[in-house]
Amino acid sequence: MTCNLGMTERLIRIGVGVVLLALAGMAELPTWGTVLVLVVGMIAVITGAVGFCPAWKLLGIDTSESKRVKGS
């Protein structure tokens, strides 16, 4: 499993995931809404922490710095 997320995207995913997890815990959502927000928040945090997104792999998207040429 190679990293396909850049540092900026990873930080954004973790931040959004934490906000969604907090929202699920504090907002008065219906049960299905709470579960949905929890799942999306966990996916965002996990993919951000690991640096790999299976959906990006399937779509051929790679925002990691490892593929970029340094100095250009």
pLDDT 10s digits, 27-70: 999 999 999 999 999 999 999 999 999 999 999 999 998 755 55
Does residue 69 lie in a domain region?
no
Write b or e for each residue in 11-22: b if 16 or more Cβ atoms lie within 10 A of its Cβ, otherwise e.
eebbeebeebbe
Confidence bin at 1 (pLDDT 50/70/90): confident
The angle formed by the CA atoms of residues 56, 13 and 31, to the nearest 5 degrees, is 100
In a domain, 71, yes or no: no
Please tell me the predicted confidence (pLDDT) of residue 65: 83
Enclosing domain of residue 31: 7-63
Position 67 scores a pLDDT of: 59
Number of domains composing the chain? 1
